[in-house]
Every structure is written in C-alpha cells, then in structure tokens.
Amino acid sequence: MIGTITATTALAAADPFTQSLNPAHSTLGSTLIALIPIVLLLILLPVLKMSAWQAVTIGAVVTIILAITVWHTPAGDAFAAWGIGAGTGFWSINWITFWGVIIYNTLVRTGAFDDFKRWLISQATADIRVQTILLAWALGALLEGLVGFGYPWAVIAPILIGLGVVELDAIRVAALANNAPVSFGALGAPIIALAAVTKLPLDALSASVGRIVAILALLPPWILIVLVTGRRGVRGAWPLAIVGSLAYIAGQLPTSQYLGPYLPDIIGAVAAFGAILLLLRFWRPKEVLGFGGVPVADQGEPLPTADGAAPPGTREAVRGMVPFLILIAVVVAATGPWSHLTNYNFAKPAVSAISSLSHKKTDVSWAFTPAIAGTWILVSWLVILVALRVRASQIADVFRITFSQMWGALLVAPIIFGLADVFNYSGMANTMAHGFAQIGPAFLILAPIVGWIGVALSGSNTSTNALFGGFQYSVGGLLHMPPLLLPSLNSVGAEIGKPVAPQTASVGVATSSYVRREGQVIRHNLPWTLVMLAYLILIALFFRGVLPSAMQP
C-alpha cells in the first residue's frame, strides 16, 4: 500500500511446523478435544461465576497446554503466538475502548451528557412510544457506539422508570433497543476483533456486518413499541417505528460501507435524533399513550425534569452534542479512505505454520500501527477538553473512574486474544471447523446461534468474535460459502444474545433494584431475543440464497 512503512519481525523458526488436523485419529474425538477451552470458559463464566479475567487466564493456560501436548505446537511458537495476540488485544481493542470510555466519563463529569439527556427528554411528548424510540433506541445506540459494556442499559433504564415504565420492563426495553448497535459498539471493537482473528479486511467485514445489521434494525423499533404499549400502540405510532429504524439505518449503513467500523452507531444515532425530532414537528400520535397503552393527557408542554428545574435549552443541547461531532470529524478525517495515516506500521511480529486445511503457509501477526483509530479517539478527547473547558481536577476524576470501571476489561482483551491466536495458530480452530463442517450447509443456521450462545455465556461480542471468528471463517471455507458470511453472522448473532448475557446484565442493572437478581432480568429478556434470533436466521438464508455477492470481500 502506498505510503506504508512496515518492519516485519519473524518469530517462527525457518521451517514452520505443520498443523495436525486430526491429532486423536478420530474426527469426533479431535473435535471434542478442541472444544475443551471453549467448554471450560462456558463453565467458568456462567456456572462458577468466575471473573472474566480469571476465567480467560485459566482458559489461555489450558489452550497452550493442549496446543503443545496434543497438537504438537513448538512451545516457543505457542508462547510467541500468545504474545502476539496479547499485543493485538491491547493495541487494537483496549486502545480504542479505553479512550471511548474516557470521553463518556468526561461528558458525565462535566455535566455535558446530563444536559444533553435532559434536553432530549424535554423534546419528547408524554407519549411513552415517542420517549422509547427517542431515548432507548436513538440515545441507546449513541451510548453503545461510544462505550458499550452494558452502559446503555444502566443509563436508559432509570430514565424510562422515571417516565412511568415498570422497572423490569424498562430494563428489557433498554436491553432489546441495544440489539442492533452492538456489533459496532465501543467504536467498532467487535468488528476489529473479528478482522484480527480471521485476517479478513477490516473494511470488508465492516461492510458485510453493516448490511446484515441494516436489515436487522428494521424490526426492533416495532418490538419496543409493542413492549411499552402493546399491539394497540403500534396502530397509532407506526410512522415513529418506520422513521426511527430507517433514520438509524441511513446513518449506520453508508458509514459501515465507506468509513469503517468506528462510527456507524454514533452517526446512525445522530441521524435518528434528527429525523425523530423533525417528525415530531409535523406529526404526533393522535392518542397519547402511557406505559401499558393507557391514554394520558398531554398539554403540549415540555416534560418536567426529574429535579423540577427548568427544561434545558439549545445551549445545553449544543454542549452535549458538540463532543460527538468532534469525535466524528476527527476520526472520519484521520481514518477515512482518503487518509493513509493508519497505514504506517513500524513492527509486525508474526509466527508461521503450514495450515492443516489449505496446506499453505499461514500465520498470526500483529501490526503495530501508531496512528490507528484509538489514537485519533485520544486526539478527539483532547479537543473535547478544550471545547468543554475541562478542569484538571475533573480530568483526574475521569481517569480514576475509568480505571475503576475498566481494569477487568483491560485485562480480558489481551488474554483472550492471546488465547484465540494460540487456538488458531496450533490448528485447534481448523480441527474444530473440520468437525463441524460435517454438518454440511445446514451449519448456516447454526452460525448465528453459535454467536448468540457465545455472547450469552461470555458477555462480550468482542470476546465471542475473538473465540469463534476464525472457526466460523474456516467452516465457511470448507462449505464453500461466501467468506464474509459466517464470521458476520457470528458477530450479529452475538449482538442479539447480549440481553441474556449475565456479565452485561450485571452492569445493566447496576442502577436498578435488580442488582444480584440478574437471573430474573435474563428470563424476562429471553423470549424476545429468540424472536430476533429467528429473524436473523431468515436474513442469513436471504444473503446465502439471494445475495451471496454481498458477502464477498
């Protein structure tokens, strides 16, 4: 690529080892052994309720032992693969998510986010359907795009409760509204993880996931209206569902196709805000409904704020929105297709092997690229500090709060990426793919279910993509499916499983009375996630049978 500077460091021996496809001399036996690290994580996380960083550490140790003893991976190469994965996890994931949360906490600490939130509430009518689409759908997507990690639940649910929604239902609405945005959450971290483990082009994966999400996003606004007012509420508010979904898609889809995975949620959310507020200037439901579909009076006045203060005005709205516009401007300018700033690689350690499937040379590698998206998110934050006139004491508080919130997640990403790279480099992923490929073309139906199960048990779309992305890509190759299809379905299946993920629920209920009662929340959310999963399977069949070219790199 023009303008690219790369220094490559080969860590593997001159003659790379050859992966073993069937080390147990039995397809079923080898597949079951390859599943051990996955099954172990699924036991440690939801059953034993172990902390994520502890569970993935044990999983990584077991994976390395299996790689060396069963797949006969050279020990030095196995540890090198883990180190490369750890570097990828830190630089490609932590460096983005950390600064995203720093921006969010800066907005909270300065009051800018609260001003913007209060202004949004004041723009809504007393109709719970309007409030749900504007706040749970649009504001939730904005929070997911910037922070992720269950924060949209924790922020949105208390607002809905204050507007009259029953607490358990408010949590469900916040969770299901969060379905479509998750793959592009935390500034694209799940897609970046997927590209890292599959070696598929990042922009191509962003585009393929974006196409699936665009169809998926047509459904949630309708479900949200049903959840807060029943079927009766849909008849009088269908324009709201249509505008809410199409406006988000109008921002999300072109961004994912042409600008990469970093900003689809944020631009989609901004587009949804604008379209919904514009709609409300010209149309409002004839009958104003409260939660449960009960008619309520609406005097046409702004909704009162929780503290009884005067509704915020344009100044507060602008102050809350400017940081997001700064973020969009800086990241688009620095990472868009017109920019070559992200092409400069100064080191690329790699270890190579001969693939047990293609019988060609394959490798795991990590490109140290200083000017990646995370760096430009840091630059955005520095500009935001100036725009909001943030004091030094506030900055110190922001870092203290962020480290308190994120230290566990900051450990998980490097460890689980190290685990994934050992899993892929040793040939364990190929062995598992070879076993599951025996299912045949019907695996297309299982692909999103694998993602759903993975995130439901691990709590992280990013981790699910790291664990299963390479496996899904290999199965797709063995079954001669479009290369982007199964990895993309893994990611979108994972986003649908978030409402029943214990770790996500534990963050999401932090501001409610359901702390340590996540099981009730998960059972309440489960039926609708299954509806969304069935819808995703139909989307998968559509792309495979009607539009397979959309899933080609």
What pLDDT does 14 receive? 57
Number of domains in the chain: 1
Q: CA-CA distance, 414 to 291, in Å (whole number)?
A: 44
Cβ atoms of 143 and 117 closer than 8 Å = no
- Torsion of the alpha carbons at 507, 511, 512 and 518, rounded to the nearest 10: 10
Q: CA-CA distance, 401 to 306, in Å (whole number)?
A: 25
199 dihedral zone (left: phi>0; alpha: psi -120 to 50; beta): left
Q: CA-CA distance, 548 to 546, in Å (whole number)?
A: 6
In a domain, 85, yes or no: yes
The DSSP bridge partners found for residue 352 are: 363
Backbone angles phi, psi at 260, to 5 degrees: 90, -170
Backbone angles phi, psi at 506, to 5 degrees: -65, -35
- Which of 243-257, 320-334, 448-462 shows the lowest mean pLDDT across its residues? 448-462
User: Which residue range forms the structural domain that includes residue 368?
Assistant: 8-13+25-551
What pLDDT does 304 receive? 55
- Which of 10-19, 140-149, 360-369 shows the lowest mean pLDDT across its residues? 10-19
In a domain, 304, yes or no: yes
Per-residue pLDDT reduced to its tens digit, 147-206 = 887 788 888 989 999 888 999 999 999 999 988 889 999 899 999 999 999 999 999 999
Cβ atoms of 67 and 395 closer than 8 Å = no
Contacts of 272 (CB under 8 A, 6+ apart): 137, 138, 141, 244, 247, 248, 251
Report the first-to-last Cα separation within the chain, whole angstroms. 17
Q: CA-CA distance, 447 to 487, in Å (whole number)?
A: 8
CA torsion sign for 553, 330, 183, 60 is: positive
In a domain, 19, yes or no: no
Per-residue pLDDT reduced to its tens digit, 308-321 = 556 677 888 889 89
What are the helix and strand counts (H, E) for the chain?
23, 4
**Exposed, middle or buried, 255 (CB in 10 Å: 0-12/13-18/19+)?**
buried
In a domain, 148, yes or no: yes
Per-residue pLDDT reduced to its tens digit, 301-350 = 555 554 555 667 788 888 989 999 999 999 999 988 888 887 787 788 99
CA torsion sign for 76, 468, 141, 151 is: negative
200, 301, 518 from 47: Cα distances, Å: 34, 50, 14
Q: CA-CA distance, 235 to 226, in Å (whole number)?
A: 10
Residue type, 126: A
In Å, the largest CA–CA distance within the chain is 78
Q: CA-CA distance, 55 to 45, in Å (whole number)?
A: 6
**Average pLDDT taken over every residue of the chain:** 90
The token duo for 366 is 């990590």
pLDDT higher than 60, residue 87: yes
What pLDDT does 121 receive? 82
Per-residue pLDDT reduced to its tens digit, 499-530 = 988 778 877 777 788 877 788 888 999 999 99
CB atoms within 10 A of CB 69: 11
Contacts of 37 (CB under 8 A, 6+ apart): 59, 62, 63, 66, 419, 423, 428
- Taking the mean position of all CA atoms in its chain, how far away is CA 243? 23
What pTM does this model have?
0.91
Runs of H (alpha helix) within 336-442: 373-388, 392-426, 428-436
Q: CA-CA distance, 391 to 487, in Å (whole number)?
A: 44
389 dihedral zone (left: phi>0; alpha: psi -120 to 50; beta): left
Nearest to 328 by CA among 285, 273, 268: 268
Backbone angles phi, psi at 46, to 5 degrees: -85, -30
Q: CA-CA distance, 182 to 492, in Å (whole number)?
A: 8
Q: CA-CA distance, 24 to 434, in Å (whole number)?
A: 13
Cβ atoms of 83 and 12 closer than 8 Å = no
In a domain, 547, yes or no: yes
User: For the residues of 534-547, what is the DSSP string, one character each?
Assistant: HHHHHHHHHHHHT-
CB atoms within 10 A of CB 515: 10
Mean pLDDT of 114-118: 88
> Which uninterrupted H or E stretch holds 364?
strand 361-365
CB atoms within 10 A of CB 408: 12
pLDDT higher than 80, residue 124: no
In a domain, 377, yes or no: yes
Runs of H (alpha helix) within 163-291: 167-177, 185-198, 202-216, 220-258, 264-282
In a domain, 3, yes or no: no
In a domain, 251, yes or no: yes
- Which of 7-21, 32-46, 427-441, 477-491 shows the lowest mean pLDDT across its residues? 7-21
